[in-house]
Amino acid sequence: MENMIGVLLAGGRSQRFGQPKAFAQFEGKCFWEHSIDAMKEVTNKQIIISHPDIVHFFEETSRNEILMDDIHVRGKGPLAGIYTAMKYEKAEWYMILSCDIPLINKKIIRCLVDAREQGTLAIIPKINNRIHPLVGVYHYSTFEYIDEALQKERYKMMSLLEKINVKYLSDNFILANQDAFCNINSQEDYIALQNSDTIKEL
């Protein structure tokens, strides 16, 4: 069993963005590449969990393994993507990242990975009372809870988090780097990103 697999969640519909946001450009790279690059050093491999409508874009441009959401839960949200990764790719830990966080960087990912400890099943940033469950490290033993939540048609990430022992990270490093968690949902968010003077940490 590999120790840690990187999982890029890219099976969303990007309705607010108006086009597949994984392929929006920032600083010369697609959004999805920023997430993959950020987790490359700490993961044994990185897989993409996508959707039939956009999978050909990934096939043309990515060398990563690509899976589609398991048919029973396809399109049911991020939890469905995590479920699919854990069902088809076995590892002890999974580094989960969404595809709409172009400011994410290696130091943040390293910090989350290093925060793992005995008995904790997920490590998730929490900034000003807002949690970021799609920038998180999850242990394989969360799979049974994810499976149960999906079977009960509870698709929100909270359905999982309220059942497991989560370590929420809000230390000074996370707070000082909070821009890195900014997720792009709409064209307005994208314009704000392009106009901001935030410098991406590498």
Ligand X SMILES: Nc1nc2c(ncn2[C@@H]2O[C@H](COP(=O)(O)OP(=O)(O)OP(=O)(O)O)[C@@H](O)[C@H]2O)c(=O)[nH]1
Binding residues for Mg(2+): 100
- Beta carbons within 8 Å of 132's beta carbon, 6+ residues apart: 124, 125, 126, 181
Site size for ligand X (CB under 6 A) = 22
102 forms part of the interface with ligand X (CB under 6 A): no
DSSP state of 56: H
Query: What's the first-to-final CA gap in the chain, in angstroms?
Result: 30
Q: Compute the CA torsion angle 193, 66, 149, 20 (nearest 10 deg).
A: 30
76 forms part of the interface with ligand X (CB under 6 A): yes
100 forms part of the interface with ligand X (CB under 6 A): yes
Q: Which stretch binds ligand X (CB under 6 A): 73-81, 120-128, 136-144, 158-166?
A: 73-81
Residue (165 or 192) nearer to ligand X, CB: 192
187 forms part of the interface with ligand X (CB under 6 A): no
Q: CA 166 to CA 76: how far, in whole Å?
A: 23
Residues near ligand X (CB under 6 A) are: 9-17, 49, 69, 75-78, 80-81, 98-100, 134, 185
